[in-house]
Amino acid sequence: MKSILESIELTKIFKTGKIEVAAVRDVSIKVREGEFIAIMGPSGCGKSTLLHLLGGLATPTSGRVLVDGEEVSSGKDAVRTDIRRRKIGFVFQRFNLLPTLTAQGNLEIAQEIHRNGSRDRQHVDEILNLLGLEKKTHHKPSELSGGEQQRLAIARAVINKPAILLADEPTGNLDTRNSMVVLKMIQELNRALSQTILMITHNPEAAGIASRLIEMRDGKIVSQQREGEWNAAEDRMSL
């Protein structure tokens, strides 16, 4: 399968006065089409920074990022924005929905940005029905529960069929029941639609649904395990 996302020796150093902090150090990852990767690690290990670099929200100090063959690590904001628009969908812990628009409006604006103005109302309705939000079409985010907001955020992220979905702690703000619903939805996207997903999480249960687990520490990848490998390891630990 072809590579959808690739980072090559990616490094990000933040400078505060004379102090330099390396948030991400020489990270090389290859994500294949249809793969579902979970990245775990303690707070401050550089997971979110890595996600921002992979999604073109930030530029690396060194190294490269290729999304579907296009370099997103260029310094030019317009180039990164364009690739983000065409190839990447984001899901955040804080949902990040536009508060003044309805559920339908939040989906339509994503379409409008993606398609340079045009919208597909039918597709919006299909997605809302699929997520069980058909009765909440005209509700604003503040009128939705946390779980509903996150489902809507996922819908927005995938409505334009991105090459890769980048999720940053998608269950971090949700209770157990809603977390399960959201995780199931993400898993379904990967299984049924072969959506390539890279998800950051603290939650081992969430990581459990991924096909590959990457562990980070101090800005570096310390281990990578394929599905089954870490289950076996966990089983050994629990024994």
Partner 1 sequence: MSARLVLSNVVSRPMRSLATALAVGVEVALILLLVGLSTGMIRENSKRMSGVGADIVLQPPNSSLVLAASTGAMSVKIADLVSRIEGVKAVAPVYLQFNTSGGMGLLWGIDPESFDRITQGFIYLEGKGFQGPDDVIIDDIYAHGRELRLGDDLKLMNHSFRVAAIVEHGKGSRVFIPLGTMQRLVGTPGQATMMMIKCHQPSDVAGVQARLASLLKSYPTFDMTSFAAHIEEANRDFGPLKYFTNTVVSIATLIGFFIIFLSMYTATTERTHEIGILKSLGAPQGYISLLFLKEALVLGGLGFVLGLGLTFGGRFFFRLLMPTLQHQLPGEWLFYTGSLALFSAGLGALYPALRAARQDPIEALAYE
Instruction: Choose, by CB under 8 A, the member of 64, 119, 139, 217 that binds partner 1.
Output: 119
Which residue's CB is nearer to partner 1, number 114 or number 139?
114
Site string for partner 1, 50-69 (x = CB under 8 A): --x--x-xx-----------
Site string for partner 1, 78-117 (x = CB under 8 A): x--xxxxxx-x-x-x---xxxxxx---x--xxxxxxx---
Which residue's CB is nearer to partner 1, number 56 or number 212?
56
**Amino acid identity of 108?**
E
Torsion of CA 142, 147, 150, 151, to 10 degrees: -110
Q: Which of 86, 7, 9 is nearest to 51 (CA)?
A: 7
Distances (CA, A) of 160 to 108, 116, 228: 10, 12, 32
Q: Which of residues 151-170 bind partner 1 (CB under 8 A)?
A: 156
Which residue's CB is nearer to partner 1, number 98 or number 193?
98
For 161, the token pair is 């069929």
Q: Which of 204, 143, 154 is nearest to 181 (CA)?
A: 154
Does 22 participate in binding partner 1 (rule CB under 8 A)? no
For 76, the token pair is 């030019």
How far apart are the C-alpha atoms of 200 and 55, rounded to whole Å? 13
| Strand ordering across the sheet containing 220-226 | 88-91, 164-168, 197-200, 36-40, 212-217, 220-226
CB of 100 to partner 1, least distance (A): 4
Geometric angle at alpha carbon 41, from 17 and 192, rounded to 5°: 125
CB of 185 to partner 1, least distance (A): 20
Query: Binding segment for partner 1 among 25-33, 74-82, 174-182, 189-197 (CB under 8 A)?
Result: 74-82
Does 77 participate in binding partner 1 (rule CB under 8 A)? yes
Kindly list the residues in this chain that would bind partner 1 in the complex (CB under 8 A).
52, 55, 57-58, 77-78, 81-86, 88, 90, 92, 96-101, 105, 108-114, 119, 156
